[in-house]
Structure 1
């Protein structure tokens, strides 16, 4: 079989290293690869249950001035009637406003409560901001205003929301909005998952980078240290692939389960979460590239065990060994013919 070019593992590990490094650094500053988040929370409708409940209460407004002005005549009677009519009109306007919550006020709800419209969780950070042009527009862009440390300080979105609500104009808490213990448990689970995921991702980035450097070094080391070079590259590529797969599985499966639970429990209060598709794409592409790199070194290791060389210059060492053995034994001069000495026994007379 024809020798595969050694550029395959170099290109594969280099591309995998770049992709997984970008996945790690996404969101490290506001606006940098914002769309490559692991989980994003849409909080633009958070608290809508309070307003909807208020709207249900106001569907049948209680009489405000009925019977109050009866029996009052003259100027006072006219004044009383005008006042009660104004109150009824104001109450009607409030009811109409509440009924329009899904059309106009929903885009302003988060701002009125003192929180942002989205919170995106990346490998190292939590970014927050608002949607543009508004939260209800399909495919709205994200305008990031700030990013917080996530891996070192924890991915505690509920703490950020609670802080925003408390300093907002209404001085609310998440409990006031109906945030339950089950939802907090889901948030805590997601926090633990993301910490484990990021730790594995950092290790994967390190081993992928080392595997890339080892593949480059193999160009120069294989002619002199073939067995060790192939074995070391095989181990490094396998280790990098293992950590990439583990981080990918945690980021895909565990985060998906936590996201579904948050959506199930948060639907009533207007809180939703989405799993990031961009991150999943580049992560699994990196896994595929590292799998190619690992497969190359495994194939070369098996070839070496079968007695075939991996030296890109060809099977030089076998030819050299043959020449040396021939020079040492096969091409020796005939000592009897060249010495001029006759070792035959002479007969005495």
Structure 2
């Protein structure tokens, strides 16, 4: 039985190891061009940026040109025929305009998507099968962030539009200032997440190593106390980080989509990132519960031994 209880220590060791790996992956996702790009915190789809502005510039409906007097005379019928011809011509012009709009969107000089990671931001193009369920992401550039230099989408787009073939600016597509405000709020949350995850990596790594003396030496109070403390610290920091980034990204994505609707800017949360983040948190919580139960069992055992010793003595 004692040998079996020792081998049970492999459970928190494996859980701590997996949490350590997953937290590292979440922390370093995107730190190199193309590395775990699909594990971004949020992604901004700019492949159709500003298309609505161009579409709104097309010819208005011919209903505005028609008379409301319901004239059924020959002259009135001739006018209706003229309107029908104009409508047909406008539809054809509209199809041509749509093709032009699509070409303009491709030639703005900006990337089709921009992603935000914990330590940097990347940009790139969608693969040929971008409409498929599992589209590919072709990363073209990544920029490293620092506390004084965080992801600024407004600045990046303005620069890329200005040097693009159409020589535009964000003012030309009625860019809402509130979008960058929400991204700035997310940047602040990512700084907090960085601190939490760095601590989480450290504590989960130490928790993994602390399992070794627990396996070799058995249930010693000091060993169980250290393992409980390290596992609980890892669980707390990773869980807090997961809560912060989940809440902040949800608020940012909803606000960006609301403000960016008129300019066809779409933001999405990185589901894969949150999956590995919360798996790491849950694993460390389970590991903590394991050590707490072991510590409680040892405390009860020692209490019974003291009570039995007291009875035998008196």
Question: Kindly tell me: are residues 282 and 93 of structure 1, through their superposed partners in 2, closer, same or farther at Cα, counting changes over 3 Å?
Answer: same
- Residues 123 and 151 of structure 1 are in contact (CA less than 8 Å); yes or no, is this contact kept in structure 2? no
Q: Which shows bigger deviation, 286-295 or 260-269? A: 286-295
- CA shift, 1:125, in A, is 1.7
| In the alignment, structure 1 residue 236 sits paired with structure 2 residue 230 | yes
Question: Kindly tell me: are residues 196 and 110 of structure 1, through their superposed partners in 2, closer, same or farther at Cα, counting changes over 3 Å?
Answer: farther
- Residues 58 and 95 of structure 1 are in contact (CA less than 8 Å); yes or no, is this contact kept in structure 2? no
Aligned equivalents of 2:190 and 2:62: distance in 1? 44
Aligned equivalents of 1:30 and 1:94: distance in 2? 42
Q: How many residues align?
A: 277
* Equivalent residue for 2:44, pick from 41, 48, 53: 41
Aligned equivalents of 2:264 and 2:134: distance in 1? 19
- CA shift, 1:57, in A, is 5.9
Alignment of 1:258-273 (within 5 A): 258-273=252-267
Question: In the alignment, which residue of structure 1 is the partner of 2:156?
Answer: 160
Question: In the alignment, which residue of structure 1 is the partner of 2:114?
Answer: 119
Q: Using structure 1 for the length normalisation, give the TM-score.
A: 0.72
Question: In the alignment, which residue of structure 2 is the partner of 1:31?
Answer: 34
Q: Secondary structure at the match of 2:139?
A: strand
Aligned equivalents of 1:308 and 1:100: distance in 2? 80
Q: Secondary structure at the match of 2:44?
A: strand
Q: Secondary structure at the match of 1:306?
A: helix
Q: Using structure 2 for the length normalisation, give the TM-score.
A: 0.79
Question: Kindly tell me: are residues 40 and 202 of structure 1, through their superposed partners in 2, closer, same or farther at Cα, counting changes over 3 Å?
Answer: same
Aligned equivalents of 1:94 and 1:307: distance in 2? 86
| In the alignment, structure 1 residue 246 sits paired with structure 2 residue 221 | no
- Residues 46 and 265 of structure 2 are in contact (CA less than 8 Å); yes or no, is this contact kept in structure 1? yes
- CA shift, 1:151, in A, is 4.4
Q: Secondary structure at the match of 2:58?
A: helix
- CA-atom RMSD in angstroms: 2.9
Q: Which shows bigger deviation, 91-100 or 115-124? A: 91-100
Aligned equivalents of 1:109 and 1:35: distance in 2? 27
- Residues 125 and 149 of structure 1 are in contact (CA less than 8 Å); yes or no, is this contact kept in structure 2? yes
Aligned equivalents of 1:289 and 1:93: distance in 2? 60
Identify unmatched segments of 5+ residues in structure 2. 64-89, 310-314
Aligned equivalents of 2:23 and 2:224: distance in 1? 24
Aligned equivalents of 1:218 and 1:52: distance in 2? 68
Aligned equivalents of 1:56 and 1:202: distance in 2? 56
- CA shift, 1:159, in A, is 2.0
- Residues 44 and 118 of structure 1 are in contact (CA less than 8 Å); yes or no, is this contact kept in structure 2? yes
* Equivalent residue for 1:174, pick from 170, 176, 183: 170
Measured against aligned partners, the alpha-carbon deviations of 1:49-105 in whole angstroms (never above 9, x if no partner) come to: 221122246989xxxxxxxxxxxxxxxxxxxxxxxxxxxxxx99764322346xxx5
Question: In the alignment, which residue of structure 2 is the partner of 1:289?
Answer: 283
Q: Which shows bigger deviation, 229-238 or 176-185? A: 176-185
Q: Secondary structure at the match of 1:28?
A: coil
Measured against aligned partners, the alpha-carbon deviations of 1:145-189 in whole angstroms (never above 9, x if no partner) come to: 111113453122222222211211222222221112222322221
Question: In the alignment, which residue of structure 2 is the partner of 1:96?
Answer: 95
Question: In the alignment, which residue of structure 1 is the partner of 2:182?
Answer: 186
- CA shift, 1:305, in A, is 1.2
Relative to its length, the structure with more helix (as a share) is 2
Question: Kindly tell me: are residues 58 and 176 of structure 1, through their superposed partners in 2, closer, same or farther at Cα, counting changes over 3 Å?
Answer: farther
> Post-superposition, which runs of at least 4 consecutive aligned residues in structure 1 deviate over 3 A?
1-4, 56-60, 91-96, 108-111, 134-139, 220-223
